[in-house]
Amino acid sequence: NFSELESKTEMFETGIKVIDLLTPYVQGGKIGLFGGAGVGKTVLIQEMIYRVAENFGGVSVFAGVGERTREGNDLIHEMVDSGVLDKTALVFGQMDEPPGTRLRVALSALTMAEYFRDVEKQDVLLFIDNIFRFTQAGSEVSTLLGRMPSAVGYQPNLADEMGLL
């Protein structure tokens, strides 16, 4: 219901001092983590999952779009070791899976996050790793369906897919 929407802005306290001080996140907002291999993106994600579970009792949903099997395995073991696996939903469409599977992983994770938010009334942290691979899978599906790519090579329905997400 539109009349029940709140327009106030609240800071999402991650408990990670450098983030809360220098680049605070807005609760309910969207952020992106960009960086090369080995700079600590996954470590930051793991820490945020842990802190949401421990500090807020919330749920984290992680979508691994085109992930390597090793990365998914490492993430699961980290969740078990930190004791937050029961507060985490993990969805993977690995890089060796068909493009349709990889495309749907992010949307499946979004559906799970909406369920936890709307039905279970829990705070939810949704991670999608990696948006580029989501776009790439959409392009592969589009090619398989015989759709003409745009002038820059992306699928003609890229805006629709990103809007859906």
CATH of residue 121's domain is 3.40.50.300
Q: How far apart are alpha carbons 115 and 112 in whole angstroms?
A: 5
Helix, strand or coil, per DSSP, at residue 142: helix
Do the strands 11-12 and 25-26 form a parallel or antiparallel pair, or are they unpaired? antiparallel
* Predicted pLDDT of residue 1: 67
pLDDT digits (tens, 9 = 90+) for 90-130: 999 988 899 999 999 999 999 999 999 999 999 899 999 88
Rounded distance between C-alpha atoms, residue 107 and residue 17, angstroms:
31
- 87 catalytic? Reply is no
From first to last of the 165 residues of the chain, give the pLDDT tens digit.
677 777 778 888 888 888 899 989 988 888 888 888 788 887 888 888 888 888 888 899 999 998 887 888 888 898 899 888 999 999 999 888 999 999 999 999 999 999 999 999 998 999 998 888 999 999 999 999 998 888 888 888 888 888 888
Question: In 3D, which of 59, 51, 57 has the Cα closest to residue 17?
Answer: 51
Q: Of residues 13, 41, 47, 140, which has the active-site annotation?
A: 41
Whole-number pLDDT of residue 108: 96
| φ, ψ at 103 (rounded to 5°) | -65, -40
Question: Which amino acid belongs to residue 9?
Answer: T
pLDDT of residue 109: 95
Q: What is the pLDDT of residue 115?
A: 96
One of 6, 13, 30, 67 is an active-site residue; which one? 67
Q: Which of 10, 68, 120, 147 is catalytic?
A: 68
Its sign, for the CA torsion 156, 157, 158, 160, is positive
Residue-wise burial string across 46-69, b where 16 or more C-beta atoms lie within 10 A, e elsewhere? bbbbbbbbeeeebbbbbbbbbbee
Domains held by the chain: number: 1
Please confirm, yes or no, whether 41 is among the known catalytic residues. yes
Model pTM score = 0.85
Question: How many angstroms separate the CA atoms of 94 and 98, rounded?
Answer: 9
Q: Which domain holds residue 14?
A: 2-164
Would residue 67 show up in a list of annotated catalytic residues for this protein? yes
